[in-house]
Amino acid sequence: MDFRFTVEEEAFREEVREWLKKEIPPRWIELDAGLWEETEESWALSREFQRKLGQKGWLAPAYPREYGGSEMGHIKRLVLSEELNYNRAPISIEVEISVNWAGQALMLFGSEEQKREVLSKVGRGEAIFCLGYSEPNAGSDLASLQTRAVEDGDSWVINGQKIWCSYAHYADYCWLGARTDPDAPKHKGISMFLVDMKTPGITVRPLINVLNRHSFNEVFFDDVRIPRENLVGEENNGWYQLVMALDFERSLIGTAAAHQRFIDELVHYMIEAKGKGERFADDPLIKDELAEIAVQNEVLRMMCYRIAWMYSQNLHPSYESSMSLLFSSELLRRIANVGMRVVGPYGQLDTDSKWSVLKARVMRAYLASLSIGVGGGSNEIQRNIVAMRGLGLPRQ
C-alpha cells in the first residue's frame, strides 16, 4: 500500500502547474465561464487553449503519439487531470466527449482509416465531437432510440431526431447511435456511426439551459447520407460499443480536484470573514457543514484514485466509475448548498451586481449542478448499474 505519488509524478505536477500559469489566458480567467456557461468568446479561447494542450500531447494523454497523445500512464493522467481541474483550465465536457467517449470507442472499434483521419484531429484539439445518443423518447431508456440508419448502395441514410446534444453547434463530428435493425430486440439492433456535422440534411437547433446559455441542442437528421464505411465497428453491435464508451465517460478522475478548488474558496471566504469579525464565521453549524463536504471530497478523491489505480493495474472499472460519478454529482449539489449557507443572501446575486461575492460561483454551481446528476446517465441509472453490475442483483 502506498498513497504517494512518485518523485517523477510530483515533478510532472509542477511542470503542469507552471505551464498552466503561462498558458491559461487572463481573459479566460476574467470571463470565468464555468460548466455549461460558454459564450462565443470563451469558446474561442478554450478551443485555442486545447490546441496548445494537444501540441503538448496532454489533451488526449492516453492516446498513441501518432494520434496526438503521449501514451501517458494512468497515474500521471490523474495528476494532469487534477491540475487541469483545480486550475480551472479552459477545458470542459467537450473534451471528455471527444477524447474519452467517442475517441476511445473509435480507438477500440474504429477502422485504421477512421483513427488516422479523425482520432489524430481529436488528439490534437483540431476537432470535437457531439453525441447523438438521447432522443425525445429515449432518455434513461436509451436503448429504445428510434433514429434510423438504412443502407442504400454505398451509403447509410439517416433519419430522426437527437436531443441534449452538447456543443453540436460547434462540433465537427457526431458520434451517433441509430437503429439498423428495427425487428431485433432493442439492444441488438443499434449501430454506431461517425457523422460529419457538415453533411447536408443536418439541422442544429439551440436549447437554452437554466444558466441562460446555449450549450446544448436538438439535432435533426433528414435523409442524411453518409459513406458506408462510417459505420463504426460491427453492425447491430452498437449498444455494446456505446456502453463501453459510457464507462469511459464515467471515469471523470479529476472531479475531486475541481470540487477541492470550490471548497478551498469557501473555506478562504470564511477565514476572511472571521478576520473581519463577522459573526457567521464562528457558527459551529456552518463549520460542521463545511467540514462534512471536505470529508466527503476526501472520500471522492479516494474513489477517483482507485479508478486511476485500477486502470494502471489493467483492471477495468465499471461500477466503480458509476459510483464515483454518483458521489461526485451529489457532492457538488451539496457543496453548492453549503456554499449558500456560507455566503448567505449574497449567494443570490449574479456577477453584474456590485454586491456579488465569489464571482457568483455559488449561485452558478447551484444551477449547473442540476445537470450533473442527470447527464451521462441519471443518478438512478448509475445506482442501477452499481446494483446490477457491481452486486449482481437481478434485473427481474
Binding positions for other proteins, rule: CB under 8 A: 1-5, 75, 267, 270-271, 274, 281, 284, 287-288, 290-292, 294-296, 298-300, 302-303, 305-306, 308-309, 312-313, 319-320, 323, 326-327, 380, 382-384, 386-388, 390-396
Nearer to other proteins, 279 or 354 (CB): 279
Closest separation in Å from C-beta 150 to other proteins: 36
CA-to-CA separations, 125 to 36, 95, 98, 273, in angstroms, rounded: 19, 8, 9, 42
Closest separation in Å from C-beta 386 to other proteins: 4
Closest separation in Å from C-beta 60 to other proteins: 22
Nearer to other proteins, 225 or 287 (CB): 287
Closest separation in Å from C-beta 362 to other proteins: 17
Closest separation in Å from C-beta 373 to other proteins: 13
Grid coordinates belonging to 334: 451539496
Distance (Å, whole) CA 199 – CA 318: 35
Taking each helix axis from N to C terminus, what angle separates 74-86 and 255-275, rounded to the nearest 10 degrees? 40
Nearer to other proteins, 113 or 391 (CB): 391
Nearer to other proteins, 212 or 396 (CB): 396
- Match 482507485 to its residue by C-alpha cell: 306
Closest separation in Å from C-beta 213 to other proteins: 31
Closest CA to 392 of 292, 384, 93, 97: 384
Residue type at 158? I
Grid coordinates belonging to 191: 449501430
Nearer to other proteins, 70 or 382 (CB): 382
Closest separation in Å from C-beta 188 to other proteins: 22
Nearer to other proteins, 200 or 392 (CB): 392
**Cα 255 from chain centre:** 10
Nearer to other proteins, 212 or 313 (CB): 313
Beta bridge partners of 268: none
The number of C-alpha atoms within 13 Å of 15 and in the hemisphere containing its C-beta is 11
Closest separation in Å from C-beta 246 to other proteins: 17
Nearer to other proteins, 96 or 320 (CB): 320
CA-to-CA separations, 73 to 76, 249, 310, 326, in angstroms, rounded: 5, 18, 12, 25
Closest CA to 174 of 203, 146, 145, 151: 203
Distance (Å, whole) CA 350 – CA 34: 13
**Dihedral pair phi/psi, residue 222, rounded to 5°:** -120, 105
